[in-house]
Amino acid sequence: MTTWTYKQWGALIGALVMFSIALVGIGETALVVIFGIIGYFVGKFLDGELDVQDIQQRAQRRMSGG
């Protein structure tokens, strides 16, 4: 069984987004994509794959200039 490459997944996702834009419009499609991205990060957090404290520390370092 062959697995898909990132290029193939990217092409499929791009085609689905364009199809969605053609069907429902750009505003509705953008909303779906934004909520999909938010859902991805929520799922990553719930799976324990997202270190929120590390992100906060990096943001604080950037804000303080160091």
Domain ranges of the chain: 6-64
Biggest alpha carbon distance in the chain? Answer: 50
Tell me the C-alpha distance between 23 and 57, whole Å: 42
Whether 65 has a pLDDT exceeding 90, the answer reads no
Tell me the C-alpha distance between 40 and 10, whole Å: 16
Looking at residue 12, its pLDDT comes to 96
pLDDT digits over 15-51, tens only? 999 999 999 999 999 999 999 999 999 999 999 998 8
Whether 1 has a pLDDT exceeding 70, the answer reads no
3 falls in which pLDDT band (50, 70, 90)?
A: very high
Q: pTM of this prediction? A: 0.71
